[in-house]
Amino acid sequence: MSRGGRHAYAAISVLAAGALVLTGCSKGGGDSGNNDKKDKENAQRQQASIKFGDAKDSTGPATAVPGAKTGGTMEVLQRDSYAHLDPAQIYVSDEGSVATLLHRGLTGYKATSNDGSKHEVVGDLATDSGTTTDGGKTWKYTLKDGIKFQDGSAITSKDFRHSIERLFAPFINQGPPYLQQWLADTPGADYRKLLKGGPYKGKHLPDSVLETPDAKTVVFHFKTAHPDLPYALAMAGYAVVSAKGDTKEKYDRAPVAAGPYKIQSFKSGKSMVLVKNTNWDPKTDAIRHQYVDQFNITFNQQYETSTKTLLADSGADQAGVSFNNQVDAGNLSKVLSDPKMKSRTVGGFQPYVGQMNINMSHPALKDKKIREAIAYALPITPFVRAFGGTDAMEVAGGLISPTVSGYDASFDPWGKKKKPAGDPAKAKALLKEAGKVGMKLTFGYINTPEGQQYSTAMAAGLKKAGFNVQRQEIPAETYYDQVSELDNNYDIFHTAWGADWPSASTVIPPVFDGRAIADGAQNYSQVNDSRVNSEIDRINKITDPVKSAAAWEKLDQYLVKDVVNVVPTAYYKQIQIAGSKVGGLAYDDVIGGVDPRRLFVK
C-alpha cells in the first residue's frame, strides 16, 4: 500500500531548508534518544504472521472498548482530501483509514488487544476467514445473515461477483492487483484479458474461476495455491460494491456504504461528514464499533496546524483527532517529553519504506552511471529531519521494512546510514565518467510546505553533485495519480510503499514487476528487468516462509544495488495525538495509525 503522496510528508521544520543540506548527522536528524529498543521490539512484533480466525472469532458484535460511550461529534483534522472512495480504487493509507468506517469485505483484521498490537483475520461479511481443502487452490466463503448496504438492500453473492468482475474494467486502475492476477493466473497487467471491460457488457467470469451457486456462497478457484487469500480479501480494495448502486466512475465520489458509517456530504478539498449507517447491524460485525454519532472531517489541515490545534485542546477540538496526520517536526520533542500528553499520544513503526524513484522510461536515465550518481548524491538528512529525526523515521538501506520478514539491517549499498547527507564528490565523478555534468533532472514534488522543504534541500544536494535540478510541483490530492501515469515528465519523485501483510511478496511484485507497468499501476519507476521478473515468479512458488523471506531480501538487494531504479530513503514511524475528550485512542499496527473503528467521545 502506498503511503507517500496523499499522506506521508511531515510538516515544515524550524530549520532553514538550505541549512539542511550542509548539516550531516549519523542518525539523519535529532531524536529523543530513548526509543530505540522500543522501536526494534515494535518492528519485530509486526513481522509475525497473523492467524486466520474461525466462525466463533468472526461473530459479532465486536468486543466493547473499555469505558466506551455512545454519542457525540468528533472533529477529524486531515491534511489531504480523498481522491478515491470507491474501494476498488483505494490503495493509499489515508483512504484506507476512512474505508474502515465505510466499507466491508469478505474478511477483515480484528484487533484482539486494546493497544492495537494483536490481530487476527476473521470473516467480516463472511462467516469465517475462509475454508480450503486443497492447500489454497479453492476457497469457499459463506455470507452472514442480516448484512445490508446503507439503502437497506441485502448484500448477496451477486454483489460480490459484481465487485470482483468490475476489478477488470479499465477505469479501475488504482487498487491492488493480487486477486485479479491470481484468478487469471498471470503476473503483471495481463489479468485484464480474463474479462475485458469487466461485467458492464453482460460478460462474466466462468464458474471455473468464480462460483456463486446461491445468494450466500462465493467460491474462488485458482490454478495455483494462494494460501494468503484471507489477507488479500481483508484489504479495502476488495470490499463489496453494490451491484445495483454501481455508478462506475461516479462511484469514486459517492460509494454505497456497508460499514457503520455513511457519507452525508463530501466537498472535495474542503470537508466530509460521516453519519451513522442505520442499516449496519453490529451483530454481523466482529471488527467495528459505532460509538460516535458524527465525524466532521476537515481537509487542508497541515501537520503543524493540526498539531497546534490538538495541543490547544479547546472547544470542539477537545473531541478532535486526525486519522493520519502525525505530530509535526517542530512540536515532536515537546509532545514526547510532556508527561501530561502521554494519555493523548500514540505511535509505532509503520510498514512503509520511502524511496526516490528514478524514471526508467526516460532515455537519459537508462545510463546506470547516472542512476548511481543520483543514488550517491541524494541527501537523506533533510528528508528525515523534516519528520522530526529518528523519533519519526530511520534512514533506510533497502526496500524491505523492519516490520517485514527478511529485513536486513546491515544492507546499505549507498552508505546512507553512515553518510545521510550524501556523497556529492563520488556522484560528480560518476557524472564526469558519463559525460553528463550539468544534466537536467526534473524533480516532481508534492505541493505542501513539507514537500517544498525537503525537495528544496534534496535538490540542493543533487546540484552539488553536478545535476541541474528543476523542481516541479504536484498537487497533494492527485499526487499518486500523476506519478503513476506512464507518460509523466518527472525524472525523479518520491513515493513510499508498505507491505499489505507481513511478507515481501506484497512489496517487490506490485512495485517492481516489469509486466505490471501500466497507467495507474504501482511500478512507479517503470523498471522492467528480466531477472527481477523471473525471480518474482520463482519466489512466489516457495512455500517455506523462511526461505521465501531470504529470497525476497536477496532480490531487494539486487534491485537497490544493481538495477538502481530507486534509492531507499527512510523507514517510517508515526506519532499522533488527540484531544482530551477522545476515548478509545489506539495506534493500530495493521492500519499504521489511529484506529477509527474504536473511537468514542468521553
**Average pLDDT value for the chain:** 91
* pLDDT number for residue 88: 98
Contacting residues for 488 by C-beta, under 8 A, at least 6 apart: 359, 444, 482
Range scoring the smallest mean pLDDT among 196-205, 360-369, 383-392: 383-392
* pLDDT number for residue 2: 65
Q: What is the pLDDT of residues 255-276, one digit of tens each?
A: 999 999 999 999 999 999 999 9
With bands split at pLDDT 50, 70 and 90, how would you rate the model's confidence at 22?
A: very low
Q: Which of 41-45, 388-392, 498-502 has the highest mean pLDDT?
A: 498-502
With bands split at pLDDT 50, 70 and 90, how would you rate the model's confidence at 26?
A: very low
* pLDDT number for residue 43: 58
User: Span 360-388, mean pLDDT?
Assistant: 95
Check residues 5 and 237 and name the one with the higher pLDDT.
Answer: 237
What percent of the chain shows pLDDT beyond 70?
A: 92
With bands split at pLDDT 50, 70 and 90, how would you rate the model's confidence at 32?
A: very low
Is 83 a residue whose pLDDT tops 70?
yes
Name the β-bridge partners of 582: 601
| CB-CB contact of 2 with 572 (8 Å) | no
* pLDDT number for residue 363: 96
* End-to-end Cα distance, the chain: 33
Q: Which is nearest to 351 in space by CA: 44, 562, 6?
A: 44
Is 112 a residue whose pLDDT tops 70?
yes
Is 52 a residue whose pLDDT tops 50?
yes
Query: Which whole-number Å values give the CA distances from 511 to 95, 235, 599, in the listed order?
Result: 19, 17, 33
User: Span 117-138, mean pLDDT?
Assistant: 95
What residue has cell string 552539488?
464
Contacting residues for 26 by C-beta, under 8 A, at least 6 apart: 417, 418, 420
* pLDDT number for residue 35: 60
What percent of the chain shows pLDDT beyond 90?
A: 81
Question: For residue 83, what is its C-alpha cell?
Answer: 481522491
With bands split at pLDDT 50, 70 and 90, how would you rate the model's confidence at 4?
A: very low
Q: What is the pLDDT of residues 178-211, one digit of tens each?
A: 999 999 999 888 999 999 999 999 999 999 999 9
| CB-CB contact of 492 with 455 (8 Å) | no
User: Span 79-83, mean pLDDT?
Assistant: 93
* pLDDT number for residue 392: 83
* pLDDT number for residue 15: 21
Contacting residues for 518 by C-beta, under 8 A, at least 6 apart: 173, 189, 486
* pLDDT number for residue 37: 66
Alpha-helical runs (H) found in 396-495: 424-434, 449-464, 479-483
* pLDDT number for residue 477: 82
Check residues 600 and 14 and name the one with the higher pLDDT.
Answer: 600
The helix (run of H) or strand (run of E) holding residue 387 is helix 381-387
Count CB-CB contacts under 10 A for residue 530.
8
Is 50 a residue whose pLDDT tops 90?
no
Alpha-helical runs (H) found in 204-283: 229-233
Alpha-helical runs (H) found in 227-328: 229-233, 303-312
